[in-house]
């Protein structure tokens, strides 16, 4: 009996040492550079909190493209449980943004302007998108290929930048308008989903 108990204790000690050594060895295999890069990527990526309300603004040389981008963002935000400010607040926001030239300043790096616009609409966060859709070209399948780009900025009402990146979209459609709208939607959704 004594010999069996001693054998069990020795076996347990050996297993414990092997498991500790295995964890240490696995940690040594990961380079410190890989660890710090993955941690900085996690820290640098910020997500849009699902609290408070969100104001959405889109800017484009073509007002129809801006309207499409806003509709796509509002639909996606609402589908993900976010609270978007009402239409009356958005209309006031548009008027104020145009009057003050705030959108142009915001894309010039002035996040305070975006935060001020959001606060005027009583929004906790403001998402601003600048979109551009190219002229679709006819492809070999007799369909149209459209391309679009979207630059999306998200700012809190306190002036903190949540995120901002540029995205592109490419899509095929039966008509010029369909290809353009699909590409625009793809670019906007790609950018927005990086924040959600």
Distance CA 4, CA 10 (A): 10
Q: Residue 16: what pLDDT? A: 54
* 128 plus 85 within the same structural domain: yes
- Under the phi-then-psi rule, with left for phi > 0, alpha for psi from -120 to 50, and beta for the rest, what region is 127? beta
Question: Residue 43 — pLDDT band, cuts 50, 70, 90?
Answer: very low
Domains: count for the chain? 2
Question: Same domain for 97 and 130?
Answer: yes
Q: Which of 154, 98, 88 is nearest to 122 (CA)?
A: 88
What count of other Cβ atoms lies within 10 Å of the Cβ of residue 191?
Answer: 27
Band of the pLDDT at 22, cuts 50, 70, 90? low
pLDDT at 75: 94
For range 23-33, the mean pLDDT: 49
Predicted confidence at residue 32, as pLDDT, reads 52
Reported as a single tens digit per residue, the pLDDT across 51-97 is: 889 999 888 899 999 999 999 999 999 999 999 998 888 888 878 77
For the beta carbon of residue 190, count every other beta carbon within 10 angstroms: 15
* 19/37 same-domain check: yes
Residue span of the structural domain in which 102 resides: 53-193
Do 88 and 184 lie in one domain? The reply is yes
- Are 180 and 148 in contact by the 8 Å Cβ rule? The answer is yes
């Amino acid at each position: 009996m004594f010999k069996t108990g001693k054998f069990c204790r020795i076996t347990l000690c050996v297993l414990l040492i092997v498991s500790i050594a295995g964890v240490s060895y696995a940690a040594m295999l990961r380079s410190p550079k890989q660890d710090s890069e993955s941690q900085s990527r996690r820290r640098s990526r910020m997500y849009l909190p699902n609290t408070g309300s969100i104001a959405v603004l889109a800017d484009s040389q073509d007002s129809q493209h801006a309207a499409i981008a806003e509709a796509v963002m509002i639909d996606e935000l609402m589908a993900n449980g976010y609270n978007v400010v009402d239409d009356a607040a958005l209309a006031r926001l548009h008027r104020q943004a145009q009057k003050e030239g705030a959108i142009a300043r915001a894309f010039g790096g002035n996040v305070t302007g975006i935060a001020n616009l959001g606060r005027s609409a009583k929004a906790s966060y403001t998402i601003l998108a600048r979109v551009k859709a190219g002229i679709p070209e006819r492809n070999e399948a007799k369909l149209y290929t459209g391309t679009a780009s979207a630059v999306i900025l998200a700012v809190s009402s306190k002036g903190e930048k949540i995120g901002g990146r540029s995205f592109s979209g490419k899509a095929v459609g039966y008509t010029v308008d369909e290809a353009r709208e699909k590409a625009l939607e793809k670019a906007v959704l790609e950018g927005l989903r990086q924040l959600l």
